[in-house]
A and B are shown apart, each in its own frame.
Chain A
Amino acid sequence: MKHVVETREVAGQSPNWLLARLDDLVNWSRANSLWPMPFGTACCAIEFMATAASRFDFARFGMERQAFSPRQADVLICAGRLPFKLAPVIRRVYDQMPQPKWVISMGACASTGGIFDNYAMVQGIDTVVPVDVYVPGCPPRPEGLLYGVLLLQKKIKAESLRDRALRDEHPLDATGLRLPPEAIDEISEPFGNSVHQFRSA
């Protein structure tokens, strides 16, 4: 972002004025104080811990405080594969987070199901909760997650306060899903090596 705050001298008045767009100010404060809610289920969580620890230290980007309670969290980081048994859990965690909130899907399994194209695994957490940033990798290195965080900050800084729809809650609809069934089936289609599984149905 080019200008968070710009100064402008107003003729005939004191120069001690700051003029800024409210959007920039709010987004600046939001983007630089993201409290992550770690939802670590697998090996990605190990990389997440490395990202949070001293060597990579994502506190540098304002994620100083990890919120282990969803009610104090801004960004849900799903680090690892999500089995169907945990689907209602992550949905409840997401529903308990107050607006504004964002979701990072960390790793191949959280984003697509990864190598686990089987009966037990959600094929991408976007079939359960909306996702803002996908971080590929198996698992992604800490630099990858940091890049994802920076992308999320970039996304937040482009948001507009006037767009109220961004902050709307979208609970599960009458069918108990957040997307139409056809969309979920399409997202979950096998790809890559999974299409060669001969026991699949």
Chain B
Amino acid sequence: MNPSVDALRATFGPAIGRAVVARDGVSVVSVRPEPLVAVLAWLRDTVGERYDYLVDVTAVEYRDGERPLELVYFLRSLARRTDLRVKVDLELRGPLAVDSVVSLWAGANWLEREVFDMFGVTFRGHPDLRRILMWDTYAEGYPLRKDFPLRGRFSRAEQVRQALAANPEAHYSMEELSIAEAYDELPPDVKARLDQGERGTVADAP
């Protein structure tokens, strides 16, 4: 068992649920949904823990409809070469929502979008929660849920019609298509040069 689990219990007490060692030797610890961001921030920033790399965010739904949907955060400490998995149980009947961890790891942005797209879990505070694999106007639901039929809900003709009606360029937000968002982060001298109308030039060949 990973010693981080005991440290978590000592710090967060009842917010930490069961913990097991998975077949691959990685410890899996269950956490209540409410303090999730605090727990993950503690795991990232505490000296001696330093789980600084979020490998993946995904979800598991079991065929047994009574079991909750499990959200899984794969953490890794690059310096200590240690893995830890944090699970959050979300009741299928309740609202499938949890706080976003994009504020901790910017890389969680697309991972959470994928979980939203495939499982329908809402991430509160996510800066850009849109579908990422299926197109924006996809109307059949969340494909990796157990109640989703393998071939989709609509007839094949309707699926083709809706797919052809989608705009292939609509998969990107305006922010992704422009540098407008990055402007504020540019150094002052570059901003000044851009403001004067200067644009990049290709140097003449020697």
A contacts, CB < 8 Å to B: 84-85, 87-89, 91-92, 117-120, 122-123, 127-128, 172, 175-177, 181-182, 184-185, 187-188, 190, 197, 199-201
Contact = CB atoms under 8 A, between A and B. Distances in A.
Contact of A200 (B149, B158, B162): B149
B131 to A, nearest CB: 10
Nearest to A184: B157
25 contacts: A84-B135, A84-B160, A84-B163, A87-B163, A88-B165, A92-B168, A119-B140, A119-B143, A119-B150, A119-B151, A119-B159, A120-B143, A122-B160, A127-B160, A176-B164, A177-B157, A177-B164, A181-B161, A184-B157, A185-B157, A188-B157, A199-B150, A201-B150, A201-B151, A201-B153
A128 B168 CA distance: 15
A85 B192 CA distance: 42
Contacts of B149: 119, 199-201
Contact of A85 (B134, B148, B158, B160): B134
A128 B164 contact: yes
Contact of B155 (A87, A128, A185): A185
Contact of A88 (B153, B155, B168): B168
Interface string B156-191: 111111111111100100000000000000000000
B160 A177 contact: yes
B35 interface: no
Interface string B13-33: 000000000000000000000
Contacts of A91: 164
A88 B156 contact: no
Contacts of B155: 181, 185
